[in-house]
C-alpha cells in the first residue's frame, strides 16, 4: 500500500535506537478532499438559480410597464425558486443519509408495500407523459429497513425512468431473488446511457445533459441519495444501459426474515 508520509517525528531512544513515529494522513486527506469538492459543487449549484433569480428580479423592475414581460419573468422566477428549493431539499437528504449508517426505525417490510407506495407517488408524473407503469408480484420477500428511505430510493429510480423516456413508453418494476439477496429492477425504454456516463451516474451532481436535467428539475443528486440509502441497508446498486434503447437500474438488498405471528401455527407446533 502506498502511504503518503505527511508527518514524521524522530526521537532518540537510548544510544543505539531511534523511535520514528509516522502519521498516515492519507485517509483523512481523502475525506477532506471529498468534503471540499462537495462544498465547491454545492456552492456552484446554488449560485446558478440564485443568480438567475436576481437577474430576473432586475428584469421585472425594468419592465414594469410591460405586463406580458413581467408575467414571463415571474414564471421563470418561480421555476428557478422551485429548482433552488429542490436542490436544498436534496442536499439535506444527502447529508442525512451520508452521515447515517444505521437507519432509524428499522422494521421488517414486505417489498410489495415499498414498490406500491413508490409507484403511487410517481403515478402523476407517468400519466402526464402517458407512460405505462407495471409492477411485478413481490409478496414473498421482506427486507429489514426504513420504509420512507426505501420508498425514496425506488421512487427516485422510477421518476428518473419517466424523466429520461419519451411519451407512450413503458416502465417496468421487477423483483427476483439472488441467493440471500433480493433484486428490485426498474427498466425503461428511454434515452439510455453511454458506457462512460453509466459508470458515473451515481456520482454527486453528475448529469449527462445538464440542460435537460434542468428542464426536468434534476439536480444530479438523486442517484447518489439512492446509492447511500441502499448502502446503509447493506445492499448495492447497479446499472445496465444501452443508448437509445433504455436502462435498467437495480437495487440489491439482503432478504429479511418474515416474523410469523400466527397463533394457529403456534398451536400446531405444540
Ligand atoms: P438528476 O436529478 O439530474 O436526474 P440523478 O442523480 O437522478 O440526477 O441522475 C444523474 C444523471 O443520470 C441524470 O442527470 C441523467 O443524465 C442520468 N440518468 C439517470 N437515470 C436515467 C435513466 N433512467 N435513463 C437515462 N439517463 C438517466
Model confidence at 14, pLDDT cuts 50, 70, 90, reads: confident
pLDDT for the residue numbered 269? 46
Tally Cβ neighbours within 10 Å of residue 41. 17
Query: Is residue 164 within 8 Å of 191, Cβ to Cβ?
Result: yes
From the CB of 223, is ligand 1 less than 6 Å away?
yes
From the CB of 191, is ligand 1 less than 6 Å away?
yes
The CA 147 to ligand 1 mean position distance, Å, reads 23
> What's the residue count for the chain?
270
First-to-last alpha carbon distance for the chain, in angstroms, is 59
Average pLDDT over residues 212-220: 74
Percent of the chain with pLDDT over 90: 58
Average pLDDT over residues 145-153: 93
From the CB of 53, is ligand 1 less than 6 Å away?
no
118-128 tens-digit pLDDT:
999 999 999 99
Closest Cα to atom 20, ligand 1: which residue?
160
159-202 tens-digit pLDDT:
999 999 999 999 999 999 999 999 999 999 999 999 999 999 99
Q: Is the ipTM of this complex over 0.95?
A: yes
85-101 tens-digit pLDDT:
988 988 888 887 877 65
* Top mutation candidate among 91, 164, 210 for ligand 1, by most atoms within 8 Å of CB: 164
Amino acid at each position: 500500500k502506498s502511504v503518503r508520509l505527511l508527518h514524521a517525528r524522530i526521537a532518540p531512544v537510548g544510544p543505539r535506537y531511534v523511535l520514528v513515529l509516522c502519521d498516515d494522513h492519507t485517509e483523512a486527506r481523502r475525506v477532506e478532499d471529498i468534503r471540499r469538492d462537495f462544498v465547491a459543487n454545492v456552492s456552484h449549484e446554488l449560485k446558478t438559480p440564485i443568480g438567475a433569480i436576481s437577474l430576473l428580479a432586475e428584469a421585472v423592475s425594468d419592465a414594469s410597464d410591460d405586463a406580458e414581460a413581467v408575467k414571463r419573468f415571474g414564471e421563470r422566477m418561480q421555476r428557478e425558486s422551485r429548482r433552488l428549493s429542490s436542490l436544498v431539499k436534496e442536499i439535506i437528504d444527502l447529508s442525512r443519509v451520508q452521515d447515517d449508517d444505521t437507519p432509524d426505525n428499522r422494521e421488517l417490510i414486505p417489498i410489495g408495500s415499498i414498490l406500491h407506495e413508490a409507484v403511487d407517488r410517481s403515478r402523476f408524473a407517468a400519466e402526464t407523459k402517458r407512460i405505462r407503469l407495471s409492477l411485478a408480484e413481490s409478496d414473498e420477500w421482506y427486507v429489514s429497513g426504513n420504509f420512507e428511505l426505501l420508498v425514496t430510493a425506488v421512487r427516485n429510480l422510477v421518476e428518473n425512468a419517466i424523466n429520461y423516456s419519451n411519451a407512450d413508453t413503458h416502465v417496468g418494476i421487477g423483483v427476483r431473488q439472488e441467493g440471500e439477496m433480493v433484486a428490485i429492477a426498474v427498466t425503461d425504454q428511454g434515452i439510455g446511457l453511454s458506457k462512460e456516463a453509466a459508470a458515473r451516474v451515481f456520482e454527486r451532481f453528475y448529469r449527462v445533459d445538464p440542460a435537460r436535467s434542468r428542464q426536468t428539475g434534476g439536480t444530479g443528486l438523486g442517484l447518489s441519495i439512492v446509492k447511500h440509502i441502499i448502502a446503509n441497508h447493506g445492499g448495492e446498486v447497479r446499472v445496465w444501459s444501452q443508448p437509445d434503447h433504455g436502462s435498467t437500474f437495480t437495487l440489491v438488498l439482503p432478504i429479511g426474515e418474515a416474523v410469523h405471528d400466527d397463533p394457529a401455527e403456534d398451536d400446531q407446533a405444540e
